[in-house]
Amino acid sequence: MPTRSGPDSQVFLERVRSFFLEKLPLRPNYEERPEQLEMALGVARALAEEEILVVEAGTGTGKSLAYLVPCLLWSFEHGQPVIISTRTLNLQQQLLEKDIPLLRSLMEQPFRATAARGWSNYVCLRRLDSVQSSQQLPELAHEAGELSEVLSLGAPGIRQKLPVSDPLWSLVHADSQACNRQMCPHYQECYLFRERREMERSELIIANHSLVMADVALKANGAQGILPKPACWVLDEGHHLEEVANDHLGRAISLGDLQRFRQTVFDPKGKVNDAGWLPLLRDRLSKTEERSRLLECLDQGLLISLPGFYQVGEEFFYGLTQSILASGASEMGTRVTLNSDFFHTPEGEDCRRLSEQWAAHMEHVESAARDLHRMLTDLELEANQGGLAELQSLVERVKSLRSNLEFCIFPDSGDWVYWAVATANNATLGATPLDVGERLAAEFFGPARSMVVTSATLAVGKDLSFYEKRVGLDLHQNRVARSLLDSPFDYRQNAYLGVATDLNDPNRAEFWERACEPLLWLLQQLGGRTFLLTTSYASLRLARERLAEPLSQLGIRLLCQGQAPPGLLLEEFRRDSRALLIGADSFWEGVDVVGDDLSCVLITRLPFRVPNDPLVQAHCRRLEEDGLSSFTHYQLPQAILRFRQGFGRLIRSQKDRGMVLVLDSRLYHKSYGPEFLSALPACNRRAGRLAGLVQDAIKWLKGFDS
């Protein structure tokens, strides 16, 4: 256990405590929350004693103020920023638009809080100039002129706040590899670097997990990171850390990457306006004295090599999709394992042959871009600083595509999981480190002075060890402190949990034959106001097919994941209270519908992860090799955490009330059922056949209402 406790630490804890006892009560609608104070003191201790605090804080604790206040006070004392990272934009906005303004009104000392964003969120003024002065792209040049005008009137140079089309943005956003940095004539006024400088002077930096993990990956490769080197971090929504780390510390190459390359570099088949950066460069080179040499090098070297590169790339991804289907993927969107079997089918052999051809095309493009770069450098054409940077960026992008392709197509390391996936519009080849925890332990937790990891769901039962192992905190045991804080909500009074004992597989027709009638009766009684959570897209589709028609007869609207972006669906759900929303993965968590708009959550199946997913298979295999049960040590804890998240959608405020019905009898019959149940807060619990259960639940709700 950490041992740095001392008088300074006590003084700091007292400062935090007095803020909560004296200042926070001054805010309007203040509610005293003992759990919040306890969490704030835990965070203060972690900062003062250089610990890593893992704190599960139930819904309604008031987590954000519990970490923002000690972080701010710590930053005032030490003159260093603290980085707060969230997974979702919603939480980031809540911090920036609600919690931080509130703190400004309560703190005696002014402070700076800056949002950290990735490069592609900022406009690059050098690129904007190039597009604006281009004769090659007249429509975009006109739009670029308008954008410049908006910026000159003081608009912030970030995408979310600018009126800009996708084609223009793809040419004018900032790009680390194409940036001239101090050599750029716009360096001082550059929006990105202005914000970076501001960030260095801030007390709080509000980031997101993707940016944080991208920063870790860049710094691990010796590149310049995005974020300053802070001493202290807070990771809210920390249960996402493993998944985001997998994405950013892994390797992948997709058809989408190739399409983006084509749109931004040069699209021989594109409309003039979508044709990319190389035509702009060509336009500039054609105005130089050395144009004949330069244009020959560009046209006969680089431009001529790109169509083949695109064509073979597309053929490769088509071949990859065929190989995935041939390997027995049950449906599009299912990840399959890449191993020697995968490449031993005729389709797989074809796919590998195409990958070799594609890599050869990449080498060709890279070398043509280098030739032109060299020629431009030798000629010392000052006006072409931008062109050099773009060519350098092109070289780096092709290099990265080739390196990822060659890494993923030859699965030869037991420390990586190799996989492929295809959907209707995309195909991806990827590799994920089997033990991302080791890298997080070394590259993320190790260098941090202190760290707070928090979420409403980190523990299985009352045990945090599963989470800690997954993210590498087991390798920092001597620095880890733990805290489990219950939600202040009254679940005994306000929540009903029903377990249907006669249903077990929503992917079968019998399930819906039994479930349809009782569920429709329930929905009629409730007037909609229900989420139905599924564990796969197949069961989502089946539920939609079964319920669409009868629901429309009841005048209840059916909203379904996939119809529209999740945020829009949620807005619709809140607006139209007579609705049923069917959601798969993204609706199990992070979704907040407060009040009577959501009275019922239906969980169709216990959320065990798909057993044939490559990562799940690899983790299970490794545990079994170590003599451990993969069910007990991996699948069960994963499912319990997910189940807790699904249950957590119901009660989002002190006054919320409603029911969760689980339509999976395994919760009742199987020996592991009690482990799921004991992970939930104590509430009214019943089990029985669905037809009786829905009546009991409605009776409970009405009794409660009267």
* Dihedral angle, C-alpha 508, 513, 516, 517, nearest 10 °: -170
**Residue with Cβ nearer ligand SF4 (124 or 500):** 124
CB 175 → ligand SF4: shortest distance, Å? Answer: 7
CB 127 → ligand SF4: shortest distance, Å? Answer: 6
CB-based contact 64:99 (threshold 8 Å): yes
Question: Under rule CB under 6 A, which residues in 474-493 are in contact with ligand SF4?
Answer: none
Q: Please, which residues bridge with residue 480 across strands? A: 52
CB 391 → ligand SF4: shortest distance, Å? Answer: 14
- In 3D space, the residue among 288, 505, 317 whose CA is nearest the CA of residue 376 turns out to be 288
Question: Under rule CB under 6 A, which residues in 178-197 are in contact with ligand SF4?
Answer: 179-181, 184, 186-187, 190, 192-193
CB-based contact 585:564 (threshold 8 Å): no
C-alpha–C-alpha distance, residues 215 and 228, integer Å: 10
C-alpha–C-alpha distance, residues 219 and 431, integer Å: 20
C-alpha–C-alpha distance, residues 400 and 277, integer Å: 19
Stretch 68-107: interaction string toward ligand SF4, x if CB under 6 A:
----------------------------------------
Q: What are the φ and ψ backbone dihedral angles of 85, each rounded to 5 degrees?
A: -120, 140
CB 186 → ligand SF4: shortest distance, Å? Answer: 4
CB 194 → ligand SF4: shortest distance, Å? Answer: 9
CB 174 → ligand SF4: shortest distance, Å? Answer: 4
CB 482 → ligand SF4: shortest distance, Å? Answer: 43
Secondary structure tally for the chain: helices H, strands E: 29, 18
Stretch 682-701: interaction string toward ligand SF4, x if CB under 6 A:
--------------------
**Residue with Cβ nearer ligand SF4 (126 or 529):** 126
Q: Tell me the DSSP string of 593-619.
A: --GGG--EEEE-S--PPPTTSHHHHHH
CB 156 → ligand SF4: shortest distance, Å? Answer: 14
CB-based contact 468:54 (threshold 8 Å): yes
**Residue with Cβ nearer ligand SF4 (186 or 557):** 186
CA–chain centroid gap for 594, Å, is 23
**Residue with Cβ nearer ligand SF4 (127 or 251):** 127
Stretch 191-230: interaction string toward ligand SF4, x if CB under 6 A:
-xx-------------------------------------
CB 193 → ligand SF4: shortest distance, Å? Answer: 6
- In 3D space, the residue among 12, 8, 32 whose CA is nearest the CA of residue 22 turns out to be 32
CB 383 → ligand SF4: shortest distance, Å? Answer: 14
C-alpha–C-alpha distance, residues 308 and 300, integer Å: 13
Upper half-sphere CA count for residue 497 (Cβ side, 13 Å): 22
C-alpha–C-alpha distance, residues 447 and 51, integer Å: 12
Q: What are the φ and ψ backbone dihedral angles of 435, each rounded to 5 degrees?
A: -120, 80
CB 124 → ligand SF4: shortest distance, Å? Answer: 3
Question: Under rule CB under 6 A, which residues in 327-386 are in contact with ligand SF4?
Answer: none
**Residue with Cβ nearer ligand SF4 (199 or 558):** 199
CB 259 → ligand SF4: shortest distance, Å? Answer: 24
Which pair of tokens denotes residue 58? 């139930």
CB 573 → ligand SF4: shortest distance, Å? Answer: 40
**Residue with Cβ nearer ligand SF4 (187 or 700):** 187
- In 3D space, the residue among 504, 494, 542, 492 whose CA is nearest the CA of residue 690 turns out to be 504
CB 638 → ligand SF4: shortest distance, Å? Answer: 41
Q: What's at 424, amino acid-wise? A: A
Residue 441, judged by CB atoms within 10 A of its CB (0-12, 13-18, 19+), counts as: middle
CB 96 → ligand SF4: shortest distance, Å? Answer: 23
Q: Which residues are CB-neighbours of 571 under 8 A, at least 6 positions away?
A: none
Residue 499, judged by CB atoms within 10 A of its CB (0-12, 13-18, 19+), counts as: buried
Q: Which residues are CB-neighbours of 327 under 8 A, at least 6 positions away?
A: 336, 341, 342, 345, 348
Q: Please, which residues bridge with residue 195 across strands? A: none
How many residues bind to ligand SF4 according to rule CB under 6 A?
13
- In 3D space, the residue among 319, 315, 342 whose CA is nearest the CA of residue 329 turns out to be 342
**Residue with Cβ nearer ligand SF4 (186 or 449):** 186
Determine, following the binding rule CB under 6 A, whether residue 234 of this chain makes contact with ligand SF4. Answer: no
**Residue with Cβ nearer ligand SF4 (187 or 521):** 187
CB-based contact 411:393 (threshold 8 Å): no
Inter-helix orientation angle 34-49/63-78, to 10°: 30
Residues 243, 393, 282, CA angle at the centre, nearest 5°? 140
**Residue with Cβ nearer ligand SF4 (124 or 581):** 124
Question: Under rule CB under 6 A, which residues in 153-182 are in contact with ligand SF4?
Answer: 174, 179-181
Count CB-CB contacts under 10 A for residue 285: 24
CB 665 → ligand SF4: shortest distance, Å? Answer: 58
Q: Are strands 416-422 and 427-433 parallel, antiparallel or unpaired?
A: antiparallel
Question: Under rule CB under 6 A, which residues in 108-127 are in contact with ligand SF4?
Answer: 124-126
Which residues here bind ligand SF4, judged by CB under 6 A?
Answer: 124-126, 174, 179-181, 184, 186-187, 190, 192-193
